[in-house]
Chains A and B, each alone.
Chain A
Amino acid sequence: SAVISQKPSRDICQRGTSLTIQCQVDSQVTMMFWYRQQPGQSLTLIATANQGSEATYESGFVIDKFPISRPNLTFSTLTVSNMSPEDSSIYLCSVEVQNTEAFFGQGTRLTVV
């Protein structure tokens, strides 16, 4: 299994600013994933973060808006840049263990005003 800690758990931010979300895992994992869950909707994969290489972004998401760092095998950050109210969502970090099961952090609830 894997235990994932995400920080902050929630934040209220002004439009035009940026927020960096941290994700810490209690074991080394190859791939880490960032999801967005917009209000009342399902999860959408933003990008996959591999250690030592650039993140791979899904269609509709770009690095300038959601830069990701992956400095080691237990940690990753996602930045939401130049925020607008449309970015208000829950952002979730996830890892996969032994190619069988995905574990999720508790999420970061972001409100942009």
Chain B
Amino acid sequence: GDSVTQMEGPVTLSEEAFLTINCTYTATGYPSLFWYVQYPGEGLQLLLKATKADDKGSNKGFEATYRKETTSFHLEKGSVQVSDSAVYFCALKQSNDYKLSFGAGTTVTVRA
């Protein structure tokens, strides 16, 4: 079945540092790929998505590119802020299915 593998955390960074969270997937066909963010005490929010190969999703300074050849969707941000401290989840969804398959989540802490 489909699965998502995320870089293990926790990740601790200083403000203005560069952030990368690796995400790879196993799936048939061409699923849509997502990054969700969960701020402390809150539910999940969609951060960005990509629906086909070579698409780049971006939002709030975060970017991720759908790489079919490496089955990856790594999340990057060039300069993180304390407010980016959260848990980040990579997920995929097949076009003919309603289910989201989530990675394990990566906890990111940004220190001032």
- A interface residues (Cβ-Cβ under 8 A, vs B): 4, 6, 31, 33, 41-43, 45, 48, 92, 94, 96, 101-107
Instruction: Please determine whether B100 and A41 come into contact, CB atoms closer than 8 angstroms.
Output: no
Point out the residues of chain B lying under 8 angstroms from A31, CB to CB: 98
Per a CB cutoff under 8 Å, which of B45, B46, B93, B104 touches A42?
B104
What is the CA–CA distance of A107 and B34 in the complex, to the nearest angstrom? Answer: 20
Point out the residues of chain A lying under 8 angstroms from B98, CB to CB: 31, 33, 48, 96
Instruction: Please determine whether A92 and B103 come into contact, CB atoms closer than 8 angstroms.
Output: no
Chain B's nearest CB lies how many Å from the CB of A44? Answer: 8
In this assembly, does B61 line the interface, its C-beta being within 8 Å of a C-beta of chain A?
A: no
Instruction: Please determine whether A41 and B104 come into contact, CB atoms closer than 8 angstroms.
Output: yes
Per a CB cutoff under 8 Å, which of A4, A42, A105 touches B105?
A42
What is the CA–CA distance of A112 and B105 in the complex, to the nearest angstrom? Answer: 24
Which bracket fits the contact residues of B? 10 to 19
Chain B minimum-CB-distance residue to A90 = B43
Instruction: Please determine whether B43 and A42 come into contact, CB atoms closer than 8 angstroms.
Output: no
Point out the residues of chain B lying under 8 angstroms from A106, CB to CB: 41-43
- Other A-B pairs beyond A31-B98, A104-B43, A107-B42, 13, CB < 8 Å: A33-B98, A41-B105, A42-B102, A42-B105, A43-B44, A43-B89, A43-B100, A92-B44, A96-B98, A101-B49, A103-B46, A104-B36, A105-B43
B57-100: CB near A (< 8 Å → 1, else 0) gives: 00000000000000000000000000000000100010000111
Instruction: Please determine whether B89 and A42 come into contact, CB atoms closer than 8 angstroms.
Output: yes
Chain B's nearest CB lies how many Å from the CB of A36? Answer: 11
Point out the residues of chain B lying under 8 angstroms from A92, CB to CB: 43-44
Point out the residues of chain A lying under 8 angstroms from B89, CB to CB: 42-43
Point out the residues of chain B lying under 8 angstroms from A103, CB to CB: 46
Point out the residues of chain B lying under 8 angstroms from A105, CB to CB: 43
Chain A's nearest CB lies how many Å from the CB of B32? Answer: 8
Chain B's nearest CB lies how many Å from the CB of A102? Answer: 6
What is the CA–CA distance of A41 and B105 in the complex, to the nearest angstrom? Answer: 7
Instruction: Please determine whether A104 and B44 come into contact, CB atoms closer than 8 angstroms.
Output: yes
